């Protein structure tokens, strides 16, 4: 370990600076979009690194207890998000602790991965959750639909899963590509 100390001492500040620079960059891009400051037909590219820096900064503020190490990986038309989630701590922090049985089943941190397909155009988008994996157990198809309808939507009724929704701030479409997302403003 001693042999690697100089390398770690050199790279850690670079990684922290890189993450801070990526966060600052994506914040500026979000501000341009949200304040409608982009010309018609503009394209704003959000890199996967920028989005991960944003998640690393924002998730602890939104879910300070129960969610750790959030990441996103982008593919052609897909986004895969992952995090370590302690469902008991998360629900308890929201003032809704689970009952005894659920507490026993969900105790501790669990690696969670969610893969969604993103389609958009004409100022509308649809996000279809394709797969969820919790601690190595894959949930797809009818079981996934059941969980979305009976657990996700009752707790987060504003979530739009599998149904089109309007894009705000004059956004025409969002193109998800490997390692980047392009936000295109209406002409």
pLDDT over 60 at 9, yes or no: no
Beta bridge partners of 63: none
Q: Which residue carries 């370590």 as its tokens?
A: 84
How many other CB atoms are there within 10 angstroms of residue 106's CB atom? 18
Helix (H, G, I), strand (E, B) or coil at 176: strand
How many other CB atoms are there within 10 angstroms of residue 116's CB atom? 19
Please state, in angstroms and rounded to a whole number, the distance separating the CA atoms of residues 31 and 37.
Answer: 8
pLDDT over 90 at 13, yes or no: no
113-128 confidence digits (pLDDT tens) = 999 999 999 999 999 9
128-146 confidence digits (pLDDT tens) = 999 999 999 999 999 989 8
pLDDT over 70 at 111, yes or no: yes
State pTM to two decimals. 0.84
Q: Which residue carries 């690696």 as its tokens?
A: 111
Helix (H, G, I), strand (E, B) or coil at 156: coil
* Greatest C-alpha distance within the chain: 57
Return the domain boundaries, the chain: 2-185
Indicate the pLDDT class of residue 46, thresholds 50, 70 and 90.
Answer: very high
Q: What are the CA-CA distances from residue 19 to residues 16, 56, 129 (Å)?
A: 5, 9, 28
pLDDT over 70 at 4, yes or no: no
pLDDT over 80 at 12, yes or no: no
H-state helical runs in the chain: 5-34, 48-62, 87-93, 100-106, 141-147, 153-155
49-104 confidence digits (pLDDT tens) = 999 999 999 998 887 788 999 999 999 999 999 999 998 888 788 788 888 887 88
Please state, in angstroms and rounded to a whole number, the distance separating the CA atoms of residues 121 and 148.
Answer: 24
* Mean pLDDT estimate for the chain: 88
pLDDT at 146: 87
């Amino acid at each position: 370990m001693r042999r690697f100390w100089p390398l770690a001492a050199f790279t850690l500040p670079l990684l922290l600076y890189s993450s801070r620079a990526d966060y600052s960059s994506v914040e500026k891009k979000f501000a341009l979009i949200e304040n409608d400051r982009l010309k018609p037909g503009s394209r704003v590219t959000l890199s996967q690194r920028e989005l991960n820096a944003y998640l690393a900064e924002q998730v602890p503020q939104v879910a300070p207890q129960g969610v750790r190490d959030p990441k996103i990986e982008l593919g052609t038309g897909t986004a895969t998000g992952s995090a370590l989630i302690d469902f008991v701590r998360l629900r308890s922090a929201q003032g809704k602790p689970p009952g005894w049985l659920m507490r026993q089943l969900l105790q501790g941190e669990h690696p969670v991965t969610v893969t969604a397909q993103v389609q958009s155009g004409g100022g509308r988008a649809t996000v279809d959750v394709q797969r969820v994996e919790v601690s190595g157990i894959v949930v797809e198809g009818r079981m996934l639909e059941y969980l979305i309808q009976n657990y996700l939507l009752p707790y987060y009724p504003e979530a739009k899963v599998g149904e089109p929704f309007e894009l705000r701030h004059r956004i025409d479409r969002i193109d998800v590509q490997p390692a980047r997302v392009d936000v295109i403003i209406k002409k």
